[in-house]
């Protein structure tokens, strides 16, 4: 009987070693359940973030997503103190809380995902656009021949904007030409315009002229068959261009994280050539009276600091800000510093 009882205890796990094994097993199971629960929470959080991101860009699927010469110069570097601590003091008094984010050549609304998240956390209203033939817009880039064609989503957004509402435009790289066009034709709807290492051209200049010192003359550039696209056949003028991946990494992403570079490599599209070669007509009465600000990127290989400084000298904005350690894509390499500058510009009376 005693032996039988001992055997039953061992079988039921109620002896000393059995109890210890059971406790260890229970702890292991609890740990496993806790880990699974954590994974589920993380997956749910990622799913929610992805859903929110898709909603931020949902308007993009229907072509929208949702002069003073004084110079105030700033040098900023990460990290940046939490914008949510700064914003409540002035958010209610801001006349323009909506930022319209306009990407540069080859990019799309997707490139602003960090900036969008930071702005929404701060209580601002970001709207990112896919220009024609960019991002998820299905237009063939070979058919985008003019700056007006390229800028149609921005034009449509500003046309639909209520008369009593103003926005702050932010243009990156060649997106500077698009916001320059907007400043000329929708002056009353734009509170401020921010040129982010962007083509801030003068009257009669082409966006390409800004890059000419880096890329060479237009004639030489279009002779380089490695990245020129002839969408209408070799016997017709080129319609676009697309740098090779290694060129892109060296020119645009020399300070960016690997995951953002990977995102860009998967998402960037050919660049329509027509809008880059078009001369802008900008008047002193409209474009010249707009409030412009320029953000310089000091480790930029696509648009060197010297070229950016030259643009500022030739076409002086109201304010100039600088981001140390940023490549040509500060929304990747220095998102907090960029966010802090945009908040500061929003607060300027």
Residues with catalytic function? 173, 300, 328
Each as own residue / partner, the long-range contacts of residues 217-226 (CB below 8 Å, 24 or more positions apart, any chain) are 218/277, 222/273
Instruction: For the sheet with 190-196, list strands across it.
Output: 75-76, 319-323, 292-297, 190-196, 167-172, 98-102, 125-129
Residue corresponding to tokens 């550039």: 221
DSSP-derived secondary structure letter, 168: E
Count of CB atoms within 10 A of residue 257's CB? 11
Q: Is 59 helix (H, G, I), strand (E, B) or coil?
A: helix
What span, in angstroms and rounded, lies between the C-alpha atoms of 135 and 338? 22
Residue corresponding to tokens 């017709």: 236
Residues in the chain: 349
Tokens linked to 5: 């009882």
What span, in angstroms and rounded, lies between the C-alpha atoms of 156 and 158? 6
For the chain, the first-to-last Cα distance in angstroms comes to 93
């Amino acid at each position: 009987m005693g032996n039988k009882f001992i055997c039953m205890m061992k079988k039921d796990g109620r002896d000393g070693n059995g109890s210890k094994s059971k406790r260890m097993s229970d702890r292991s199971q609890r740990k496993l359940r806790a880990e699974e629960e954590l994974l589920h929470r993380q997956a749910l959080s990622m799913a929610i973030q992805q859903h929110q991101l898709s909603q931020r860009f949902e308007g993009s699927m229907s072509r929208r997503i949702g002069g003073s010469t004084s110079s105030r110069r700033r040098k900023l570097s990460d990290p940046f103190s939490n914008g949510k601590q700064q914003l409540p003091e002035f958010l209610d008094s801001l006349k323009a809380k909506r930022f319209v984010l306009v990407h540069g050549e080859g990019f799309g609304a997707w490139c602003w995902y960090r900036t969008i998240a930071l702005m929404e956390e701060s209580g601002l209203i970001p709207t990112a656009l896919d220009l024609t033939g960019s991002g998820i817009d299905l237009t063939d880039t070979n058919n985008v021949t003019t700056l007006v064609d390229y800028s149609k989503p921005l034009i449509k957004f500003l046309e639909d904007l209520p008369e009593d509402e103003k926005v702050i435009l932010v243009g990156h790289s060649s997106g500077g030409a698009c916001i320059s066009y907007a400043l000329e034709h929708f002056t009353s709807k734009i509170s401020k315009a921010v040129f982010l290492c962007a083509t801030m051209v003068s009257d009669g200049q082409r966006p390409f002229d800004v890059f000419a010192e880096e890329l060479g003359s237009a004639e030489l550039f279009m002779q380089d068959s490695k990245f020129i696209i002839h969408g209408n056949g070799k016997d017709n003028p080129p319609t676009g261009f697309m740098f090779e991946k290694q060129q892109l990494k060296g020119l645009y992403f020399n300070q960016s994280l690997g995951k953002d570079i990977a995102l860009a490599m998967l998402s960037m599209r050919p660049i329509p050539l027509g809008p880059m070669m078009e001369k802008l007509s900008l008047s002193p009465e409209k474009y010249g009276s707009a409030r412009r600000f320029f953000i310089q990127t000091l480790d930029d290989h696509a648009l060197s600091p010297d070229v950016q400084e030259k643009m500022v000298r030739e076409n002086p904005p109201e304010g100039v800000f600088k981001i140390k350690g940023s490549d040509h894509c500060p929304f990747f390499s220095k998102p907090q510093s960029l966010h802090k500058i945009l908040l500061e510009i929003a607060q300027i009376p």
